[in-house]
Structure 1
Amino acid sequence: MTWYRDGLLHFGLGIENTFIPQERPGERAIDEYALTEHYDQWSDDLGLAASVGAEFMRWGIPWHVVSPERGRWDWSWTDRVMDRFGELGIRPIVDILHYGTPLWIDDQFAHPDYPQHVAEYAARAAERYRDVATDYTPVNEPMLHSLFSGEYAYWPPYRQGTAGLVEIATAIAKGFVLTQRAIADVLGDRATFVHVDASMRYAGDIDAPEHWETARRYAHQGFLVEDLVTGKVDDRHPLSSLLRSRGVSPGLLQWFRDNAVQPDVMGVNYYPRHSTELFEAGVHHGGGFADPRPTRDDGVDGLKEMLRGYAERYGAPVMLAETCVTDDAETRIAWMDASVSAVEQLRAEGTDVVGYTWWPLFDMYEWTYRHSTAPRADHLLSMGLFDLVETPTSLERVRNPVADRFAAHALRSTRPESVLAEASHGMHPRSPERPTPRAVVRREDGLF
C-alpha cells in the first residue's frame, strides 16, 4: 500500500535547504547546508531525525553542488547522504528545487532553457537514487520563488512588478511540469509527487479603494503556479486577463492544459505568525522582505482553512509540509500541540490529511543573512528540535524539549501493536510503510 493511503498520520521533519549561490555587491550567497554545517554533519543530522521517530524527511539536493558546471556532475556528497537514508529507513521526500539555480545558468529562471536544464537534473537524480528515493517535490514554494525573483526583485534574476511575476511564474511552472514528467519517466508508478506551496492569506482592509484591486489579485495568485501545472488556467481563470496582458500566449496556456501534472499529495506550508498578511487602509506595503505588510496570527483557524482549501481545490490528500513558530521551547511546544490537534480534528471531520512536518529539525539562519555583513550568529532563528550552538570548532546540535514532544506525537501516531511491542524495548516503532534499510545501487556508466 502507498504510504499516504494507509490511513495513518505520518510525522516527519525537514532540513532547511535554501540555496541562492549568486552574489553581487551587498548580497552574499545563501547556502543553508553550509551555514548550518550540514555538509559536514549530515550523517549525525539524519541520526537525530531517526532518534525522534521521524518517518520521513523533507530534504533537498543542492543543485549548484551536484552541477557546478554545465555538463559536469558531482554526486559524491549526495551519494553518502542517500546511503544514510537507506541505512536508517527514513523516507526522503526530495526537493529538486528549493530556491536558486547553479551559477552557470545565466538569468536563472528567466533563461530560455531553464525548464530543460532542471528537468535533466531531475531525471539524473531520480535514476541515480531510484532504489532509495521515490518521493519528490518538483519545486518547493513555487509562488514564493515567483514573488522573490519576479515581483519583488529581491532574488535573482531580479525581475519586478506583475510583468516580472508572470515571467518567472510561467518559467518555473514549465520547469515544474517537465521535472515531474522526467521523474515519472524514470520511476513509473513508483514515483510519488508531493507538491508544496506556501499558505498566503490576506485580511484587514481588503475592501479599501487603494487595496481592492491588489487584494483581489493576491487572493488568487497564491495558487497561480499550482493552477498552471495542474491545467486549471483557462479563459475563465481569475488571472487569465493578467496573464494575457503580460504576454502569455494562448498557446502556452494550452500547453499547460495538455501537459498537466497532478499532486499525489498536496503539501501546505503554514506559519501562524507569517502566513496571514494584513492590508491597512491608507497604508501602502509592497509585500515581501523589503517592504513587508503587518501579519496577524490566526493560529489553528488559519491552518485548518488552508488545509481544507487545498484539499478541495486540488482533490488530493494534503499534508502540513512545514510549520513552526520561532520562539522559546515552551511556545514552540504549545504550537506543536495545537497544530497536531487541529490536524487530527480535520482528519476526524473527513479531510484527508496524511502528514505533519515540523520545520526544521534544527535551527536555521534567516534569509536576511544575504543582505547583511553581520556574522551568521546574528541571523539565527530558534525553530528546531535541536538548538544550534556555536563552539570554537563547530555548530553543536543540542536537543531541547521540543524534540521530546515531537517524539511523543510521532510515537502516538503509529499502530498500537507496534507501540506496545517496540516501546517496551525502548525503541521507536517503524511505520508499516516506512522502508527497511537497504543499500543504494547506482548506475556507474559514466552518465550518472
Structure 2
Amino acid sequence: MAQPHHGIFPTFFLSGFECSTFRWKDGRRRDLVTETQHREHALQDYQMLQGLGIAVAREGIPWPMADLGRGRYDFTMLESVIGAMRTTRITPGWDLCHYGDPEDADPFSDAFAERFAAYCEAAARHVASQLDGPYFFTPINEITFFAFCGGEWGWVAPYGNTRAGREQLRVALCKAAIAGVKALRGVLPDARMMHVDPLIQVVPPPDRPDQKAAADRETFVDAFLAWDILYGKEHPELGGAPEVLDIVGCNNYSFGQMEYREHGPHKALPPGSPGILPLCDLLERVWDRYRRPMVIAETSGMGKGRPDWLRDVMNESMAAVNRGMDLHGICLFPAVDMPDWHTGEWLHNGICDLVDGDGRLRRVPDDDYVAELRRWQKELNRVTRVDEDPCSDPVDLEDVVQAARRLNPQPDKDWS
C-alpha cells in the first residue's frame, strides 16, 4: 500500500478574490474588493466556497490602505473577511501587494524593500493574532506582469514606458519580496510562501521570423527571471534561495499564449494557432527549472466556456502529474466575477457571476461550472464540503496520482 503523500493545502481545489489596489493610468486608485462588494458579502462569499468543498482562498491585505506611514498600520478593513474565515474554517492565502503600493512609496528607492518588510511584519502579527494557522502568503503578486504593466506599458503606477523601466521595476519588486519573506518568517517561521506569475508562450508573427529571438527571450528568459531571482539563480546578492521561492504559483489563462509585438502588449493567439502549446508542457518548463511544489494559482474560462476550460485544465494537470510534477492544487480564480480593468465590463469568469440589484451585487453561481468542479472532486476522491476542521485530514496526493494514472489524459494543445 502506498504511503500517504500529504498535500500542502487543506483541499486540492482553491479559490480567491480579485483584490487589486493599483493606481490606474488615469491616476485614480482602484480597489477591486470594493468594486465587487466582497467586504460586504464576505460571509456569503466564504459560505459559498465552504459549500463547494474549497478550504483555501487567496485574499488581499491592501498595502496602500493598511500602511498609514511612519510605522502605523490599520487592518480594520479585514474584519469582515476574517470573521467569515473563522465562521467557515477557510484558510486564507494572503496577497500583501496585489499591484498596489502606497502613494508615497518609491519602488526604486532603497527604502522601498525596508518599508515593505516592515508592513509584512505588521501584517503577519495581525493575522497571527486573529487566526490559527497554517499560514500562507504571496508577498508580491505576479512580479513579472506587474513589471510589464507598471514599468513598460504605463497602465499602473509607477507608469514606466521603457524596457529598461520594466527590468528595473522587476528587480526592485523581487528585492522587496525577498525582504518580505524574511520579515514574515521572522514572525511566523513555518509560514509558506507562494510566488505567483503567469505561464506564457510567445511566438513571432508568421511574417516576421526575424522576431523569433525576441519572442524566445520573452518565453524562456523574461517569463522566469522573477522566479530565478527569488530562487537565488540570478541576483544572488538579493538573498533569494529555494526556500524563499518555496511554492511556485503558475497562473494559466488563454491570453498567456501570444504573438510577439515589439511595442505594447503582445497579441493573444486565437484557438487553433500552431504556436499554442499544451498546458502540461508549460508546467513542465517550470518544474524542470525549479523542482519546487507547484500550484495552478489562478485559472478560469470566460462565460459559457468556464466548464470546458476547467475540464481542459484538469486533463492537462493530470497529464502533468503523470509526468512526475509535484502539483498541490488548482485555484479557480476568481470566486466571484470581476470587471475588466480597461472597460469595466464584467468578465463572467468567476464561480459566481455578479448581478446588479439596486446597487447590491447579487452572487449567481454558474451551475455548469460548479457541476464540472463536482465531477472532478469525485474523480480525485476530494471532499465536496468544508467540515469543522479541514486541516485535520490533509489531502493525500496519492489519490490525485492514482486518478491521473487511471484517467491517463494526453497533453492536448487544442484547448482555449
| Residue of structure 1 in register with 2:364 after alignment | 398
Distance 1:179 1:277 in 2: 32
CA RMSD in angstroms comes to: 2.8
Contact 1:55 1:430 in 2 (8 A): no
Deviates more, 1:400-409 or 1:261-270: 400-409
- Counterpart of 1:389 in structure 2 is 355
Tell me how far 1:343 sits from its aligned partner. Answer: 1.1
Q: Contact between 1:206 and 1:215, CA under 8 Å: does it hold in 2?
A: no
User: Which aligned pairs between 1:106-125 and structure 2 lie closer than 5 A?
Assistant: 107=106, 109-125=107-123
Aligned partner of 1:10 among 12, 28, 44: 12
Other structure's SS at 1:306 match:
helix
**Distance (whole Å) between structure 1 residues aligned to residue 315 and residue 122 of structure 2:** 40
2:109 is equivalent to residue 135 of structure 1? no
Q: Is the 8 A contact 1:2 1:433 kept in 2?
A: no
Deviation track 1:384-420 (CA, whole Å, cap 9, x = no partner) reads 11110011131111122123332443355345xxx6x
Cα deviation code 1:235-265 (max 9, x no counterpart) = xxxxxxxxxxxxxxxxxx3412576753332
For residue 324 of structure 1, report the CA deviation from its aligned partner.
1.0
Q: How does 1:14-25 map to 2 (within 5 A)?
A: 14-20=16-22, 22=23
Aligned residue type for 2:102: P
Q: Distance in 2 between matches of 1:59 and 1:36?
A: 13
Give CA deviations for 1:280-323 in whole Å, capped at 9, x if unaligned: xxxx54232xxx42424479943111211111211112111111
Query: Is the 2:301–2:307 Cα contact (8 Å) retained in structure 1?
Result: no
Check the 8 A contact 1:150/1:159 in 2, yes or no: yes
Q: Equivalents in 1 of 2:87, 2:205: separation in Å?
A: 53
CA apart distance, 1:72 = 2.8
> In the TM superposition, what are the counterparts of 1:44-443 in structure 2 within 5 Å?
44-105=44-105, 107=106, 109-130=107-128, 131-133=131-133, 134-188=135-189, 190-205=190-205, 208=208, 210-219=210-219, 220-233=221-234, 253-256=235-238, 261-272=243-254, 274-279=255-260, 284-288=261-265, 292-297=266-271, 301-328=277-304, 331-369=305-343, 376=344, 379-401=345-367, 402-410=369-377, 412-414=379-381, 433=391
AA paired with 2:222?
Q
Aligned residues of 1:414 and 1:429 also touching (Cα < 8 A): no
Q: Give the TM-score, by structure 2 length.
A: 0.84
Which residue type is aligned with residue 255 of structure 1?
E
1: CA distance between counterparts of 2:360 and 2:249? 33
Q: Secondary structure at the match of 1:286?
A: coil
Q: For the residues of structure 1 that align with 2:72 and 2:11, how far apart are their CA atoms?
A: 40
In 2, are the aligned partners of 1:173 and 1:229 still within 8 Å (CA)? yes
**Within 2, Cα distance between the matches of 1:124 and 1:394?**
33
Query: TM-score, normalization: structure 1?
Result: 0.78
For 2:295 and 2:306, the matched residues in 1 are separated by 19
**Any gaps of 5 or more consecutive residues in structure 1?**
234-252, 370-375, 437-448
1:318-348 deviations in Å (ceiling 9; x for gaps): 11111111222xx210111121122122223
Tell me the SS of whatever aligns to 1:228.
Answer: helix
* Structure 1 residues 66-114: Cα deviation after superposition (integer angstroms, max 9, x where no partner): 2244433211121442232133121211111111112232x4x234311
Q: Distance in 2 between matches of 1:23 and 1:342?
A: 35
Given the superposition, is the C-alpha separation of residues 294 and 259 from structure 1 closer, same or farther in structure 2, using an over 3 Å criterion? Answer: closer
Q: Distance in 1 between matches of 2:36 and 2:334?
A: 11
- CA distance in 2: counterparts of 1:216 and 1:343, whole angstroms: 24
The CA deviation at 1:152 is 1.8
**Distance in 2 between residues matched to 1:409 and 1:32, nearest whole Å:** 30
Q: Is contact 2:19-2:60 (8 Å) kept?
A: yes
- Aligned-partner Cα distance in 1 for 2:79–2:241: 32
* 8 Å Cα contact 1:119/1:182 also seen in 2: yes
Residue aligned with 2:110, SS: coil
Amino acid at match of 1:230: Y
Separation of aligned partners in 2, 1:192 and 1:285: 38
